[in-house]
Structure 1
Amino acid sequence: MADVQAVLSALRVFNGAPDKTSLEEANTWLQDFQHSPEAWTTCNVLLLSPDAPPPAKLFAAQTFRTKVTYDLDQVNSENRMALRDTLLAALQTYHTGPRTIIVQLCLAVAGLALQLPAWENPVQTMIETFGKNPATVPVFLQFLTLLPEELNTNTRIPLTDEEYGERAPKLLTRNAHKVLDILSMYIQAQGVTTVIQREVFGCLRSWLVAGEVPPVDLVNTPLFTFAFEALDIDELFDIAIDVLCELVNETQEIQDNIHVIQVVLPRIIDLKSRLVTDHDDAEKFRGYTRLFSQAGETYRTLLVEDPDMYYPLVTAIGECSAYHDLDIVPITFPFWMRVAQMLGKKATVPPFFQDAYKTLMSVVIGHLRFPADISTLTGQEADNFRSFRHVMGDTLKDCCAVLRTDTCLHAAYQLITTALAKGPNNVTWQEIEAPLFAMRSMGAEIDNGDKVAVPKILDLIPQLPSHPRVRYASLLIIARYTEWINEHPEYIHTQLQYISTGFEDTDAEVNAAAGQALKYLCQDSKQHLVDFLPTLHTFLKTTGFKLIQDDRRQVYEAIAHVISAMPMERAAESLRTFALDILALVHGVTTKPNPTKEELEQASNGLENLETMFYVIRSFGEELPSTCQNSCGEAWTIFDNFLLKFGTNYDLAERATRVIRHGITFFGNAGLPVAPSVAARMSQGFDATGIPSYIWIGGKIVARYGDEKQNVELQTAIRGMYELVSKKAVSILSVKAPGDIPDVLQDYIQMLLPLVDITPNIFFDQNIFPSVFRASLAGLTVVHSDIVFATLDLFRAIIMHECLRPDASGTEHTQWATVIRGVVREQGYDLTGYLLSGMIGEFPEDAIANVVSIFRVMTTMFSQEMLQWLPGVLQQLPSASAPNQAKSQFLVDLTAAVNERNYDRVKYSILTFNRMSRKARERRRVGL
């Protein structure tokens, strides 16, 4: 009774409006209680107590299901049949409901049936106990419905594959005929209600999904006939459609099921007339669409081989595709895609299918059309419609596969010319925009050698109305057709002119489309656009300032693509021309005493544009052209002064350092003379601001130039940066939680990684390394995969450093090894705790291998220390994640590994500990 009252007390916490701590404590207590052996008896008392509140009874039923899954080993084998009887008695008690309790108890019985070979025929037992009394038939049907689902989806039940393979067929396959017989009896029983019939169909569907009902057996039962009759009963319509769809799915092995298909398919085709009679009932139309599409997709080989016989099914699916409800239309798309894949491989396409796909293409383009009054769409509706248009675009590609792309493009072209023939006062922009969108969608399928359809489209574009939506669609067509344009450079000038007018449009989306078109045109036709570069430069200086930054950045990206195709010397001159414009802007802002917000924004945008150009061009190689020889020093002077003045501004610092990052790649060894100055500025910037992008660049400098051991100035700068940055990082961590500064932690760890690898003489400085080691431990405490992986890599590099190898020699190696051993002995307890806590907590699954590697080396090197650390570490781990049994076993296993000096067992022991902990965590995630 004490346990009963404790459970009731914990559950009462959830009824009020308690604080978060109380909820968490109550939840943890209840989950711990579910683990206990006493829970079996306590929950039985709660279930049978008439005075127990409903939440307590539901909790008791849920606990039975959970314990059957995880804790059946707590019940002696001789008592398990008694447990079965207890569960069946509880089902008898609750046969009238609530349904939630019935479901949990049925799941418990199903899980027990799988694990209890002594129970010879659970299905027959359930028939005898519940299946013969009309009052308890719903319980029996619920059990039958859940049995295959539980057996096929509950992977947490602890059975081997061999045990499962032996037991599951006894429960399911051997009872399939019996289940069909009893369901057939129920479906036509005198006085049967639609409620019972719906549950019968739900049960049948469950066994079909599990693959336990042979279609040939089903079609010879009253269930098959009634499934079609049930389509006339509103309450049974949806579940009848579900059953028929699953039956079709189960006959997908065509040759094996051809005789069944010859019975099923005509009955489905006969439903085609329902598309007319039920046209205004969207839900029924959806059901028929599902059934027709499932049949079409499953039997597509029959349709393609004998279209004359099965064309009514194809036309039925075509009618569904033409339906006005755009939530229903996509159900048909997988059918059209799969049939198109088959037809596309044929030398000739039957005329019937050509007509079907021509009709489909017209239907889809019609669906693409925006409403006459676009303002009638809410924001979400507009987003949904735009997303749906792209899905329809894929179906247009299927049409291209069947009809050939040029045919489809020409059809869309004809729709536009027909609309334009009405005259400017009689044509709407929607009539033109929809086929334009179709042309864009089909653009990926065009033949670059096409000389008919594509030229007509590109010649037509400049003649189209100047409506923003039309211009937007036209520009995106150009963006999609740039590979074709590259093969036909005579079209470049005209397209550039049209793109240029797009930048002059007052509509922001048109500007963006123009930027995209220019970017792809320059990317794909860069070798043809070299002579246009001065025009683009003039455009930027005269018109570019009118563009919003996103569009201006795309122009710079386009220009960079052209530069990348030029001979090196000329490319360097062109890059310098555009870069100097930007640097002059940055320098001008720097020299102003009090620049305005707008001027600072212009400088930031300029830096973003320069970054974009560097990103595209990347590098000219180790031997820079003469034009670039002095550029690095000149540029750094501007950046140094800019950061000195504005480096406390997070956004500006971020922009500047991103350009510097690409500059390191671009200039390579030519950047070596300024590297010490850059390192100093980065460390000073971080020390003054705590902005992490400074140390991000610090790490890039070490990675690129750290090997220059003879450059005393650079090595001194790197050492100073390491010391100053580490001191600042430790300072920040003393006042902020690691989870509050993930960006700082990530960039700090990323700076340390090249340091330990390239400059260990600096990294293992005995005056700095201990505090660096402690600060790095913070990286193991954050819920951030990239940081965790980087931090584990860092500790692996430390613990497994070559200086610690038995064959290591030399004064430096000895000094470093002494420093490492001293720090690990001092801080190894904390490292061990963070490793184990993270492993059983929030570390990604892929990180476990690193944890094992580090742990194995630490145990090998510091065996006695590890045995001293481990009891305290394990005691601090939460029992919710690491059960006491798992902790004890881990300690025993690891101690044995150390005492036997069998360090291969360390891996086994930690993986076993992790597996036991993961099982406990998964159980808790299932919830109450």
Structure 2
Amino acid sequence: MADVQTVLSALEVFTGNPDKASLETANNWLQDFQHSSEAWSTCNILLLSPDVPFPAKLFAAQTFRTKVIYDLHQVDAAHRFALRDTLLTALERFATGPKNIMVQLCLAIAGLALQLPTWENPVQDMIDSFGRNSATVPTLLQFLTLLPEELTSNTRIPVTDEEYKEREAVLLTANGQKVLDLLSIYLQATGTTSDIQTQVFHCLSSWLAAGEITAVSLAQTPLLTYAFDALSSDQLFDAAVTTVCDIIHETQEIEDNMQVIELIVPRVIALKPKLSEFKDDPDRIRGYARIFTEAGETYRSLLLHHTETFFPIVEAIGECSAYSDLDIVPITFHFWMRLAQSIGKKPSVSPLFLDAYKALMDVMIRHLHFPADFTTLTGQEAENFRQFRHVMGDTLKDCCYVLGADVGLMTAYDMITTALSQGPNISWQEIEAPLFSMRSMGAEVDPKDNKAVAKIMDLIPSLPTHPRVRYAALLIIARYTEWINRHPEYIPNQLQYISAGFEDPDPEVNAAAGQALKYLCQDCSRHLVDFLPQLHTFLGSMGMKLSQDDKVQVYHAIAYVISAMPMDQAAQSLRTFALDIVAQVHTFTAKPTAPTKEEKQAINDAIENLEVMLGIIDTFGEQLPAACQNTCQEAWAIFEPFIVKYGADYVLCDRATRILRLGLNFFGNATLPIIPSVLSRMATEFETTGQSSYVWIAGKIIGRFGKEPNPALRTGFKDAFERCSAKVMRILSEQSPSQVPDVIEDYLQMVLQVIDFIPDILFQSTAFPITFRTAMASLTLVQSDAVFAALEVIRSIVAHDCLSPAPNQPPEFPAFAAAIRAVVDQEGLALTGYILSGFTGDFPEEASSVVVFILRMLAAVWPTQMLSWLPVVLQQLPSTSVPDQAKATFLSEITRAINSKEYDKVKQAVIGLDRASRKARDRRRVSPLDN
């Protein structure tokens, strides 16, 4: 009774207004209680005691279900029938409700039935116990509904595949006909209520979904007819819709089910007039749409081969697609896509299908219309509508797949010209919707088309200047740039239209203009070389008016054009645009007064624009053009003072180091003379500011030039590495790794470059122990990238070639090995603890292979130490993360692998530990109060 009272007290915490700590304490205690063997008897008392409050009874039922899944091993085999009887007694007590307790008990019994092979016929026993009394029939139907769902979806129940197959045959397959007969009886029984009939439909759907009732056997009962008849009932409609859809789906093996299909299809077609009858009832239309589309998808091959007979189904789906409620329309989209794919494989297409897709195209464009007053939509409603338009765009592509893109485009084109012919009072929606459809259909357009697209391009300059129309037209230009590349005579007009878009006061139009310019320059770069001076002038005149996002798009565009130029001309053009930006950096740095926030943002934006250009141009190759020969030193002479002055500003520091990274790639070996200076500056700035970007760029430099034999470079590498390591040590003496994850990750990425390119600097440095401890401490982080970097550093160290003596090893390897052994001897216990704690805790799932490899190397190279480290580490791991039995099994398997020197068996031991740990953690992620 002490446990009962403690459970009640813990549950009471959740009924008040507790603080977070109290909630967490109570939740943890209840989880631990659920793990205990005492929970079985305590929960039985809670369920059957009349004075226990409802929350406690529900908790007890939930605990029974949880323990049946996870802890059945706690119940001796001889006592499991007693447990069954306990659950059945409790279910009898709650047979009339509350439903959530009944559901938990049914799930517990279902889980037990799967794991109790000596229980010969659970389904018949449940029928005998609950199926003969009208008051308990709902309980039986609830159990029969949940049984297939639990058996087919709950993968946490611990049975082997073979055990599952055997019990599934006993519990489900052997009882399919019995359940079908029982449902038929209950459906027609005298006094049957609509609630019982709804349960019958749900139960039937559950067994159909599990594949345990065939359409042929179902057709021999009254259930099929009654499912269709129930569509006339307001109370049964939703359940009947689901059941009808499940029955249709079950007949997807067409040849085996033709007799049943011949019964179903006339009933489905007979529903078509209901679309008119219930046109003002969206819930009814939604149900009919589900039935028609399920029939259309399931009988698609019959639609194609017996079109006239089955075409009323297509017509009905078309009516559903045309319905005004845009929540219902998407139900039909998958059908149209699959049908289009099937039609595309046929040598000829029935005119009926062509007409259906033409009508569908008109319907989709009509649905694309913005509301007359778009401002009446809330922010989320407007966003949902925009997203839905793109989904409808995919269906327009399906129409093009059947009809041809030229037909689709000309349909939209004719809509626009018709609207324009009606005079200036036409609404902008009448033009914008078909424009949007043209953009959607662009993916299906042949760039060689010389009819439809040309008409569209000729039309664009004459369109109204409404911002929504201009926005749509600009995005059409962006979509059709491949076509424009084949028809360069359209470029001047499109450039003019794009330029006008930048002058529009609407920011969305500006953004569309930027996108159009970017793609135009990307796909038509060789045709735009002569326009580059015009773009330079444009930036000079319009640059201050453009938002940064729009300027980025323009610089994207410029870079694509420069990339298409001959090298010398490209270099001179890049210099022209880059000097504008570098001059801004110089002026900003020389400014005697502190810059304003706006000035800082402006210079950050300017450097971003240079970054955009260099990112696209990438490099001119090994031999720099004449225009670039001296610019490396010139650029560093400007950027170094900038970094010295503003290096503590995180945003400017990040932007500056990123541009340095691109400069390294662009100039290549031409940067070698200044690399020592750059490394020294990066180390100094990291020491001063602690900004991780400086370590990041140092790592990139080592990765790029680490193999260079230049003594000055090696001195620079060593100095930068040791200074950065010392700074990291100082940072970690004041802050935890979780406070500086970016610094840790960038430092470890630099270390990986050092290991790969200059390992002697690492292993022979006094900073090596600092590096190793930093990698270990990083294993406590939750940031995946930092954890992976730390594991990779550790892997590279404990698996270094110097630890595996071989002939003709480099002379420095013995010194490397001595340094590694000394560090691991000192830190191995802590390292093993960090690895196993993270592995059974928060490590990403993808880290498993690296963990296995590290533990295998530790077992092989430090076997004696490993056997002394593991017991201590395993003792420290919480049992809530790793059950004690899993710890013992893991230790036993690792010990056996080490003693037999079969180190490959370490992998299986680690996999077993991982499996047990994940199962324990998954269980604890679910609150004891969750269903």
Is the TM-score greater than 0.5? Answer: yes
State the match for 2:15 in structure 1.
15
TM alignment of 1:152-231, pairs within 5 A: 152-231=152-231
Counterpart-to-counterpart distance in 2, 1:882 and 1:191: 55
3-state SS, counterpart of residue 102 of structure 2: helix
Counterpart-to-counterpart distance in 2, 1:867 and 1:309: 76
Identity across matched positions, percent: 62
Do structure 1's residue 376 and structure 2's residue 376 form an aligned pair?
Answer: yes
State the match for 2:35 in structure 1.
35
Relative contact order: is structure 1 or structure 2 higher (C-alpha 8 Å, sep ≥ 6)? 2
TM alignment of 1:331-410, pairs within 5 A: 331-410=331-410
> Which letter maps to 2:518?
K
3-state SS, counterpart of residue 14 of structure 2: coil
CA-based RMSD: 1.4
Structure 1 range deviating more: 722-731 or 795-804: 722-731
Encode CA deviations 1:865-894: one digit per residue, 9 max, x unaligned.
222222221222111101122222222332
State the match for 2:52 in structure 1.
52
TM alignment of 1:844-883, pairs within 5 A: 844-883=844-883
How far is the alpha carbon of 1:394 from its aligned partner? 0.4
TM alignment of 1:476-875, pairs within 5 A: 476-594=475-593, 595-709=595-709, 711-807=710-806, 809-875=809-875
How far is the alpha carbon of 1:588 from its aligned partner? 1.3
State the match for 2:297 in structure 1.
297
- TM-score with structure 2 length normalisation? 0.98
TM alignment of 1:116-131, pairs within 5 A: 116-131=116-131
Encode CA deviations 1:584-613: one digit per residue, 9 max, x unaligned.
111111111124433332221111011111
State the match for 1:415 in structure 2.
415
State the match for 1:462 in structure 2.
461
Counterpart-to-counterpart distance in 1, 2:698 and 2:221: 76
Counterpart-to-counterpart distance in 2, 1:810 and 1:543: 62
Encode CA deviations 1:627-649: one digit per residue, 9 max, x unaligned.
21211111111111111111111
> Which letter maps to 1:578?
F
C-alpha contact (below 8 Å) 1:28/1:880 kept by paired residues? no
State the match for 2:247 in structure 1.
247
> Which letter maps to 1:31?
Q
Encode CA deviations 1:78-126: one digit per residue, 9 max, x unaligned.
2222221111111111111111111111111111111112111111111
Counterpart-to-counterpart distance in 1, 2:251 and 2:107: 29
How far is the alpha carbon of 1:698 from its aligned partner? 0.8
C-alpha contact (below 8 Å) 1:766/1:819 kept by paired residues? no
Aligned pair in 2 of structure 1 residues 27, 605: CA closer, same or farther (>3 Å)?
same
State the match for 2:3 in structure 1.
3
Structure 1 range deviating more: 26-35 or 544-553: 26-35
Structure 1 range deviating more: 867-876 or 674-683: 867-876
How far is the alpha carbon of 1:22 from its aligned partner? 2.8
Structure 2 stretches lacking a partner, 5+ long: none
Structure 1 range deviating more: 101-110 or 215-224: 215-224
- TM-score with structure 1 length normalisation? 0.98
Structure 1 range deviating more: 621-630 or 126-135: 621-630
Counterpart-to-counterpart distance in 1, 2:657 and 2:813: 35
How far is the alpha carbon of 1:810 from its aligned partner? 5.0
State the match for 2:906 in structure 1.
906
TM alignment of 1:99-118, pairs within 5 A: 99-118=99-118
How far is the alpha carbon of 1:443 from its aligned partner? 0.7
C-alpha contact (below 8 Å) 2:764/2:815 kept by paired residues? no
C-alpha contact (below 8 Å) 2:184/2:222 kept by paired residues? yes
Encode CA deviations 1:811-835: one digit per residue, 9 max, x unaligned.
5222221111111111111111110
C-alpha contact (below 8 Å) 1:523/1:561 kept by paired residues? yes
3-state SS, counterpart of residue 534 of structure 1: helix
State the match for 1:436 in structure 2.
435
Counterpart-to-counterpart distance in 1, 2:849 and 2:264: 53
Counterpart-to-counterpart distance in 2, 1:784 and 1:899: 36
Counterpart-to-counterpart distance in 2, 1:375 and 1:214: 52
C-alpha contact (below 8 Å) 1:296/1:314 kept by paired residues? yes
Counterpart-to-counterpart distance in 1, 2:901 and 2:461: 81
Counterpart-to-counterpart distance in 2, 1:743 and 1:235: 59
Counterpart-to-counterpart distance in 1, 2:575 and 2:888: 68
> Which letter maps to 2:83?
L
Encode CA deviations 1:448-494: one digit per residue, 9 max, x unaligned.
11111000000000001111111110000000000011111111111
Encode CA deviations 1:25-79: one digit per residue, 9 max, x unaligned.
3222222222222222222122111122222211221121112112222222222
Counterpart-to-counterpart distance in 2, 1:257 and 1:100: 38
Do structure 1's residue 259 and structure 2's residue 255 form an aligned pair?
Answer: no
C-alpha contact (below 8 Å) 1:183/1:200 kept by paired residues? yes
> Which letter maps to 2:796?
A
Encode CA deviations 1:688-718: one digit per residue, 9 max, x unaligned.
1121111111110000011113x22221121
> Which letter maps to 1:580?
L
Do structure 1's residue 328 and structure 2's residue 328 form an aligned pair?
Answer: yes
> Which letter maps to 1:362?
D
3-state SS, counterpart of residue 734 of structure 1: helix
3-state SS, counterpart of residue 878 of structure 1: coil
Counterpart-to-counterpart distance in 2, 1:927 and 1:375: 43
How far is the alpha carbon of 1:16 from its aligned partner? 2.5
3-state SS, counterpart of residue 272 of structure 1: coil
How far is the alpha carbon of 1:906 from its aligned partner? 2.5
Counterpart-to-counterpart distance in 2, 1:477 and 1:303: 36
Aligned pair in 2 of structure 1 residues 744, 430: CA closer, same or farther (>3 Å)?
same
Counterpart-to-counterpart distance in 1, 2:765 and 2:470: 66
Structure 1 range deviating more: 155-164 or 342-351: 342-351
3-state SS, counterpart of residue 155 of structure 1: coil
How far is the alpha carbon of 1:221 from its aligned partner? 1.5
C-alpha contact (below 8 Å) 1:4/1:42 kept by paired residues? yes
Counterpart-to-counterpart distance in 2, 1:401 and 1:890: 58
State the match for 1:309 in structure 2.
309
Do structure 1's residue 923 and structure 2's residue 923 form an aligned pair?
Answer: yes
Structure 1 stretches lacking a partner, 5+ long: none
Encode CA deviations 1:540-589: one digit per residue, 9 max, x unaligned.
11222211010011111011111111121211111111111111111111
State the match for 2:139 in structure 1.
139
C-alpha contact (below 8 Å) 1:556/1:613 kept by paired residues? yes
State the match for 2:236 in structure 1.
236
Structure 1 range deviating more: 554-563 or 26-35: 26-35
3-state SS, counterpart of residue 224 of structure 2: helix
C-alpha contact (below 8 Å) 2:47/2:57 kept by paired residues? yes
Counterpart-to-counterpart distance in 2, 1:99 and 1:173: 27
Q: How many residues end up aligned between the 2 structures?
A: 926
Structure 1 range deviating more: 74-83 or 360-369: 74-83
3-state SS, counterpart of residue 157 of structure 1: coil
How far is the alpha carbon of 1:687 from its aligned partner? 1.5
> Which letter maps to 1:474?
A
Counterpart-to-counterpart distance in 1, 2:47 and 2:35: 18
Encode CA deviations 1:845-880: one digit per residue, 9 max, x unaligned.
111111111111112222222222222212221111
